Amino acid sequence: VIPGGVEEGLTGHENAYRLVWRPDRTGFARIAIQAQVPVYPCFIQNGEEMKFNPLFWLMNKIKLTKLYDYSQRQNIKLVSWFIHNLAAIIWVPLSLLAIPIPVKATIHLGAPIAYDCQQDTLEDYVLRCKTELQALIDKHQPQGLNYTRAIGERFFSRTKKPKN
């Protein structure tokens, strides 16, 4: 399972690398259970730093993302739905204006998370997957969003390259 989606895209820079999943986001778990396969958490280190969008940065600075978060936490059915969908419609085309940044990106795969039909409900399994994925993110991106560090890792990394 890979994090992402409109919900996470709309939450602002201060929430980068924090999973924001709607309670009804269970499709991946249902498919894994039906196929009788484990879920593998997957995370791209420096994935958020791979692009910079000046409009999203500005929206974050003038607190529009906090206003969005607040409106969603209020959970007023029609209002929350309308604001979420309006924000998604605006977010998708504006995301195309991102400027690529040359950072070092590393894909991390976590340990498989198997479904235990004796102990797990669907909701328990989803929560376990979310917890394991967040732990993987916290392990490999503990300092959160940081463009300077990510660019530095790309150009000044001390990792040794394998010998041929």
In a domain, 104, yes or no: yes
Give the per-residue pLDDT at 2: 64
Per residue in 25-45, pLDDT (tens digit) is 899 999 999 999 999 999 999
In a domain, 149, yes or no: yes
In a domain, 164, yes or no: no
Give the per-residue pLDDT at 30: 94
pTM of the entire predicted model: 0.80
Counted domains in the chain:
1
Give the per-residue pLDDT at 163: 58
In a domain, 163, yes or no: no
Q: How far apart are CA 157 and CA 83, in angstroms?
A: 42
Ranges of residues in the chain whose predicted pLDDT is under 70: 1-7, 158-164
Give the per-residue pLDDT at 61: 86
In a domain, 41, yes or no: yes
Q: What is the 3-state composition of the chain as percent helix, strand, coil, each rounded to the nearest 5?
A: 55, 10, 40
Give the per-residue pLDDT at 97: 92
In a domain, 19, yes or no: yes
In a domain, 70, yes or no: yes
In a 10 Å sphere around its CB, with 0-12 CB exposed, 13-18 middle and 19+ buried, how is residue 77 labelled?
A: exposed
Domain that holds residue 23: 6-156
